[in-house]
Amino acid sequence: MAYVFIWSFAILLFPLLLFCLEVVVGCFRYAIARRATESLRIVPALDQTLKGVVLVPAHNEHSVIGATLESLLSACSQNMRIIVIADNCSDDTAVIARQYHCEVIERTHAQDRGKGFALAFGLEHCRADNPDVVMVVDADCTVNANALSDLMRCADHYQTIVQGAYTLVAPEHAKPATRISAFAVFIKNIIRPLGLAKLGGSVPITGSGFAIAGALIDHIDLASGEIVEDMKLGLDLALLGQKVEFVLPAKITSVLPTDNQTSQVQRARWEHGHIGMITKYMPKLLLFSLKELRWASLITALDLCILPFIVLLTLSTGLSIILGSAMYLIGWSVFVYWIVGLNIMLLVALIVANALRGSDRLQLKDVYALSEYALNKIGLYRALTSGKRSRWHKTQRELPAQPPKKK
């Protein structure tokens, strides 16, 4: 019985401890960056002779592609070209993109559907031009003025893949569940990568706003059909002994869907894909880290095992009550102190992270919806345990189609 408690304690302790460390360190670094403009002094200024390509995978994105291209064109510097990949489109996405004087390539394939195949098609198209850096921005995103230049110079300097600060924001008057989801994305895509990078791990690729050094193009496989092809790319890189670096000043923004069904489909894809990556890559990363004695691979493998924070918070609370009560009854009070201390540390870290979001922070009325949000998560994982894995689905946009503004 003692061994059962010890192993249960360890299973609870390590993911929770690493999560707490990432959030605490990430909050500290984010707070510093807010007080003083985040600098990239260790990275030389952008070499204007470098050739950069921005790939924009798009599937029926006529309602949002115009705003995205306006944002990208305003952020482009010399020797950057934008390539829109109109993938299995049945609308006028390609027509609108051409009106912005962007290069457009069209792909149609009945079986190989999804963003990974579209990106592989785009990489193959631009390979002959031998670009120094290839950047990826989704068709529903906007970027800040220096995002592309920051991504390009960092990818070229580190000769690896770099990930920008990709955030999903809740639209005005969004429901509490959508605002909670935005906070969860802020923790996952901004705070934890800041902490993980400082701890020596490889940050996850979060889907949009990342850049690939040209030397790596021949060593990556995107046409896999995985529903989380971005996460797979980062883990494949970790198995090659390289790290994905985080570039906080490069800000990429998209808007969360407010429709409940659309949100559920999107979250199911993310989280089912995450579980699939844990079962597939965690053993490989652990073996690789032990064989090659690589700390970065070890910490990346442990980070991969951390469940989404709402799920982690729910499991942590339940297991803490059960284990804490049992250990108190058998006299193992030191373990009780550890459990209570970790949960307090987690709560304080999340409160600080929420405060750092400024006007976007969660309000007390939003917190009341946490229980409903957690119950919805249970449904996602029940579907997973019953064998109902998610497949790739296009996220439905809620913006009305607007006539494009010609450049």
Give the single-character DSSP code of 247. Answer: E
Specify the 3-state DSSP secondary structure of 342.
helix
Q: Report pLDDT for 240.
A: 87
Q: Report pLDDT for 219.
A: 84
> Which residues of the chain carry a pLDDT beneath 50?
5, 39-41, 390, 392, 399-404, 406-407
Q: What residues form DSSP beta bridges with 105?
A: 85
Cα 120–Cα 117–Cα 387 angle in degrees, nearest 5: 140
Placement of tokens 């570039």 in the chain? 247
Give this prediction's pTM.
0.84
Tens-place pLDDT, residues 149-174: 999 999 999 999 999 999 999 888 88
Q: Report pLDDT for 388.
A: 53
Query: What are the tokens at 339?
Result: 């459990």
CA–CA separation, 350 and 348 (whole Å): 5
* Angstrom distances, CA of residue 401 to CA of 86, 93, 101, 163, 398: 17, 11, 19, 30, 9
Tens-place pLDDT, residues 50-109: 999 999 999 999 999 999 999 999 999 888 999 999 999 999 999 999 999 999 999 998
What's the gap between Cα 150 and its chain centre? 18
Placement of tokens 């949100």 in the chain? 263
CA–CA separation, 320 and 1 (whole Å): 17
Give the single-character DSSP code of 127. Answer: G
Placement of tokens 């939003």 in the chain? 366
Q: Report pLDDT for 400.
A: 43
CA–CA separation, 62 and 369 (whole Å): 34
Measuring CA to CA, which residue among 298, 357, 119 is closest to residue 226?
119
Q: Report pLDDT for 204.
A: 93
Specify the 3-state DSSP secondary structure of 227.
coil
- DSSP letters, 82-102, are EEEEEES--SSHHHHHHHTT-
Q: Rounded to the nearest 5°, which phi and psi values hold at 290?
A: -75, -40
Contact 342, 13 (CB under 8 A): yes
Q: Report pLDDT for 306.
A: 86
Q: What's the longest Cα–Cα distance across the chain?
A: 73
Alpha helix ranges (H) inside 36-162: 65-75, 93-99, 115-126, 147-158
Q: What residues form DSSP beta bridges with 54?
A: 82, 135
